[in-house]
Structure 1
Amino acid sequence: MKETETIIEMITRFTDIVNGFEALGKTYKESEKVMKILRAIMTYEINLTKKLQEGEDKKKKSIALKATTKEEEDVEEEKPSDEDDDLALITRKLNKFMRGERFRGRKFTSRRDPSKKESSSHGDKEK
């Protein structure tokens, strides 16, 4: 069987060859014909299996990863970033603001005058 040939094309070609032999006077039993076809198909399948396995090996890819040691990681962590600096500055300013006189132990009181009665926006009407 040829590589680009389908099974139907192989059987057609085989039948043409056998018919040519019969025209020359050489005959084959049906069992001999079947065995020859099976052998050709088995050989084709073995070759196809090998090619598929080789193709799978080619599809696998290797990767290389970069390794770092603990010392290199420590050096990278020691460098503060701009975001860390900004966050630290904001935290310091907020703490200083909270320690100021405005927030020391004062209780919040209502700005309303408790002596005045609350008025209704709709007004009370007697009927």
Structure 2
Amino acid sequence: MVQSIDKPPFFDGTHYAHWKTKMKFFIKSRDYKLWDIVEDGPFVPQRSKAEWSADDRKKMELNCKALHILFCAFGPTINEKMSSCESAKEVWDKLEVTYEGTDEVKETKIGLFTLEYENFKMDPEENVEKMFDRFSTITNGLKGYGEAISKEKLVRKLIYSLLESWDSKRTAIIEAKNLKTLKLDELMGSLLTHQIMKKNKEDEKNRE
């Protein structure tokens, strides 16, 4: 199902790190001031509405808009958990504690993703698409916890994670491409082309 660009990314309680990144970009694309409200506050004025200043009212108006975006992304279960929150920041912080965990939990998850990244190798039984999907899950997990890796390092990691049977292709890419500027989608395209050519050769041999 295709996600409408006019609707916030839906969150059902799973894959929080992935949703969090998408929601950040969605809110920022609507109004960057809304993201400031989510990230920094406002904190609800501790006085009656009659005593609110013009600035208080403006901030609370932005707060309501940010809350509306967030709650439109939730199903009934998440809605119920967040219903007592009065500010967008309170919702965002509660989501992080509930689905991302405390600082200690975060560090543990970062450590696990880092270990998976460092030990990443192409599995003999998987194709390029599955390898890339697995790699993306790991790197997106790290990114979701604030551990972004440079594009150059990601490209190099993927190239050197290929099986020995891909040595000739790896050498060709390293010699022909500038790894500092090579994009992941370009690398993916090159590997997919090579995979198709390898498959065609194998099919020809089998027919003979």
When normalised by structure 1's length, the TM-score is: 0.33
| Higher helix residue share | 2
Higher RCO structure, 1 or 2 (CA under 8 Å, sep 6+): 2
TM-score, normalised to structure 2, is: 0.21
